[in-house]
Amino acid sequence: MSSITARTALVPRLNRLGWLMALYAENHARLVRLFQPRGLPAGRYISDIGDGLALHVDVIEQHAYTTELRLTYGIADPVTGEPDPSAFLRLYHDTRQLEATHCYVGRRWQDAIGMFPPPARLIGHRLRMNTFLGKWLEYLAERGHGIATLRRVGDLSSASSQTLDEPKSAP
């Protein structure tokens, strides 16, 4: 009986942080396959597949090792007037990871989970956001969105461009 116990201890387990990092890597692969964002200059893009629901891709900033983006549809939230669903993303080129920094209009992570959340709550929140992102990216690929359907529609105006750390707050 002790040999069985010893063998199960040798099987590595993926903890929640490891799971989150793996999710970041999967999401990176999905987004790069879809839109190859590293080669896109900052600006506003639309991917339209003819289903009446165009995807808006805002390339907010391009840096040496990161790209900051926003994915959304042109649907406005009735309360805030902001696009919903909406995800702000940070793409890490060197580590090949994609992180959804927040998915709520006008809400920072502090507003969603508190100012000093325990690590388990913070990781759980990030797991939920990035699981949502993974499912959304998978859905977009299944519907036919991609670099071939993406077209530039202009620059980001100063009123609509926001940094990932400072989202516009809801009224």
Mean pLDDT of the region 14-31: 93
- Report pLDDT for 31: 98
Answer yes or no: is 9 within a domain. Answer: no
**Which token pair is 18?**
């490891």
Contacts of residue 158, defined as CB under 8 A and 6 or more positions apart, other chains included, come to none
Answer yes or no: is 81 within a domain. Answer: yes
Q: State the pTM of this model.
A: 0.79
Answer yes or no: is 171 within a domain. Answer: no
Answer yes or no: is 1 within a domain. Answer: no
What are the pLDDT digits (tens) for 112-129?
A: 777 788 888 888 889 999
**% of the chain beyond a pLDDT of 90:** 57
- Report pLDDT for 9: 59
Q: Which residue has the higher pLDDT, 114 or 171?
A: 114
Whether pLDDT at 170 is above 60: no
Domain range enclosing 72: 14-154
How many structural domains are present in the chain?
Answer: 1
Whether pLDDT at 106 is above 60: no
